[in-house]
Structure 1
Amino acid sequence: MSLLKTYGVLLLILILVPSLGLFVERFVFYKLRKLSEKSPWGWDKVLIDSLRYIPTLWSFLVALYLVSEELKLPKSIVLVKDKALWVLFIISFALFVSRLVGGFLRLYINRYREDLPATSLVVQVSRVVILVVGVLIALDKIGVAITPILTALGVGGLAVALALRDTLENLFAGFHILATKQIKVGDYIRLQSGEEGFVEDITWRNTILRQPANNLIIVPNSKLSTSIITNFHMPQPEMSVIVPVGVSYDSDLEKVERVTLEVAREVQKEVEGGVPDFEPMIRLTAFGDFFINFNVILRAKDFGSQHLLRHEFIKRLKKRYEQEGIKIPFPVREVYLNPASKE
């Protein structure tokens, strides 16, 4: 009867302790995660996200340890059990630390070091290094010699490099892109082949571009590093917006220039995305077939702001021209027909 009672207690431990960890994971951490989303700090959310699934796993390991200690197992089995529990604990702890370091690294770069790229490549490399160290520590803990493994990796490195030539080429191309700092996450770029979009992320293999239509373009890092690229955010995000306009030959160009600049200044100051202190310019360009051509030069804060700025300027300029009596002619074609000669 006492044996049955003992096994019942052990079964209860095996059920209740992991259930406690699952409760902490599903309910306590859920509430804390909701609170961290409202917090301005950010480090608390990183900490909670790093602990995902860890309490459940650790509580399960604790339950296995407690049960195994009471079962009076043979020494050989106890030795294997202890090594297995240590390996699982060390690897899970390394996983937790890798998540924590990666999250804090991304948070630090985003907030305090805008000159450094907070891309997936940087975060992933830091996490992989920590996980590799954790695996090596776990192997050393169970008595596996690390030196022969490192030697074998060194000897087999050439074979691996040849087998993963394309992958390594993209990896080092990604590091090259980050090191030169000519492309950063958030920049709008256009490739020589015509693809363009905002840089969403730079991973160990690809660079992800998001088009204005919200489509994603996946570009291998090796292709990106060898392509001719136009970066619309370098050397600064501000960019000129050139709007071509034409007025009739009957127009007073002095008046046209004055009215157009008034509208342009108004748009620069009132429209979101315009540079308020920029002085718009007008430059006459050509005598066209139906009107006198000129360009109005505005200034947008970044590539994405140019569309609204151009939209508001055209709309307000047409309305103002109508009020001032300035005509924007449309093409007119006169056709002369010669009457057929009578025989």
Structure 2
Amino acid sequence: MEDFLEAYKPHIIYATIIIAAVVILHLLTNLFHKWLVRQEHKNFPGEKTAPVNLVKRVLNTLWLVLGLIALSFIFVEQEKYDSLISNFKLVLYLGFLAVFTIVAATSTNLWFKKSINKKIQNKYDPTSFKFLRYVAVFTIYFTGILFGLLAFPSLRGVAQTALGGAGVVAIVIGVASQEALANLVGGVFIISFKPFRVGDLIKVTDTMVGTVTDITLRHTVIRNFENKMIVIPNSIINKEKLINYDLGELKCCERIEIGISYDSDIDLAKKIMQEECENHPLIYDNRSALDKKDDHPIVKTAVLSLNDFSITIRAWAWGKTFDDCFELKISVLESIKKRFDKEGIEIPFPYRTIVMKDKKEINGTRKN
């Protein structure tokens, strides 16, 4: 045993140093991780620690792999030292590149989030910052991957071409589908021309109405009134004819239509609809100075159409915002119905005349 220890003493010392170094680096990484978590909770309360945990796992894996490569020097011949050294440098480069990329992307993301929150608190439009956040984070990860490719001789030409300028576009076009590019271009157009912003209330279709919560490189997210998130690709929403209730003036006109029977008093029905709308607390006086001078009513009513079994009357009621108009409409419909019941105004049901025949004469013969 003494002879074995004496013969392999340098190797044992070397292996012990390597193992001790890996253990120490592992402990230091854990301490560094705990410090980062505390700093993140302090500076960015409520943020997830997933990126910090990922950095910890990458570093611990890096120390373990480097330790195994270092221990391999004991068991291989001296002619293979150059290959091991090359592998050691490659792993070290890729490990630190991965850590740097993750840290840079996370820091950029947190900085943008903090800036977006400040803009929201100061009531500024955060749309551009939200979109630029995705662009910046994507660029950092994309650049990190390209520098990682530079470490491999067989892929170095691709990476250098991409870093050259026009090659970036060529690679993106080569690996991305036409739909993905259309979504990216659509997102750029939305941010550039601003048909809507984050926080705007928009209507894409009758079933897609809500508040814009986010605009990413690929899609736009809308929160509807049922608190459900609607995800619409940028290429689709960029081509849609949508209504933005927060673009320009916020006031809007709500058209309230009710059908009455032909036997009901039209003038009384119009008066009831006008009074119920004008008495609602959310009604907005949209009359001009000349209209007020000529004593025009706040709410205009008129017969819209004569149908098969009903007369449609419409009232034009204005509200300060879309939300006010919606609340006004549902409240007024109920109050008008109650007034109609009291005043004898009938909201008709479809009428059908059915003729019953007991006998039919066909070809001169009578059948029961």
Question: Could you state the TM-score of these two structures normalised by the residue count of structure 1?
Answer: 0.65
Q: Deviations over 1:92-130 (max 9, x none)?
A: 332233222332343344344744525754321022234
Rg (Cα) greater in structure = 2
Residue 283 of structure 1: how far off its partner (Å)? 1.4
Give the root-mean-square deviation of aligned CA atoms: 5.1
Paired AA for residue 116 in structure 2: R
Residue matched to 2:44: 44
Alignment of 1:158-177 (within 5 A): 158=170, 160-161=172-173, 164=176, 165-177=178-190
Cα distance in 1 between the residues matched to 2:122 and 2:226 = 31
The number of equivalent residue pairs is 319
**Distance in 1 separating the partners of 2:217 and 2:133:** 10
Instruction: Give the match for residue 101 of structure 1.
Output: 111
Give the Cα–Cα distance (whole angstroms) in 1 for the partners of residues 136 and 247 of structure 2.
28
- Inter-partner Cα distance in structure 1 for 2:139 and 2:305: 65
Paired residue for 2:299? 281
Give the match for residue 315 of structure 1.
Answer: 334
Q: Which residue of 2 aligns with 1:182?
A: 195
Change (3 A) 1:108 1:126: farther
1:327 alignment counterpart = 344
SS for the counterpart of 1:222 is helix
Q: 2:166 aligns with which of 134, 149, 154?
A: 154
Task: Measure the CA separation in 2 of the matches of 1:183 and 1:340.
Answer: 66
Distance 1:103 1:301 in 2: 32
Q: For 1:195 and 1:335, locate their aligned partners in 2 and report how far apart those are by CA, in whole Å.
A: 37
Equivalent residue number for residue 76 of structure 2? none
Residue 327 of structure 1: how far off its partner (Å): 2.0
Q: Aligned partners of 1:256, 1:141: CA distance in 2, in Å? A: 80
Q: Does the 8 Å contact 2:251/2:319 carry over to 1? A: yes
Q: In 2 relative to 1, CA 162–96 (structure 1 residues): closer, same or farther, beyond 3 Å?
A: closer
Relative to the length of structure 2, the TM-score reads 0.62
**d(CA) in 2 for partners of 1:20 and 1:246?**
74
- Output aligned runs, 1:1-343, within 5 Å: 10=21, 12-24=23-35, 28=38, 33=41, 44-45=44-45, 52-53=52-53, 56=56, 60=60, 76=85, 83-84=93-94, 86-112=96-122, 114-115=124-125, 117-118=127-128, 121-132=131-142, 148-150=160-162, 154-155=166-167, 157-158=169-170, 160-161=172-173, 164=176, 165-185=178-198, 186-190=200-204, 196-198=208-210, 199-212=212-225, 217-246=230-259, 251=265, 253=267, 257=271, 259-267=272-280, 269=281, 274=282, 280-286=298-304, 288=306, 293-322=312-341, 325-331=342-348, 333=351
Q: Secondary structure at the match of 2:127?
A: coil
Q: Is the 8 A contact 2:285 2:318 kept in 1?
A: no
Cα 1:138–1:255 change in 2 (3 A) is closer
Q: Is the 8 A contact 2:259 2:347 kept in 1?
A: no
| 1:44 partner amino acid | F
Whole-Å separation in 1 of the counterparts to 2:269 and 2:229? 47
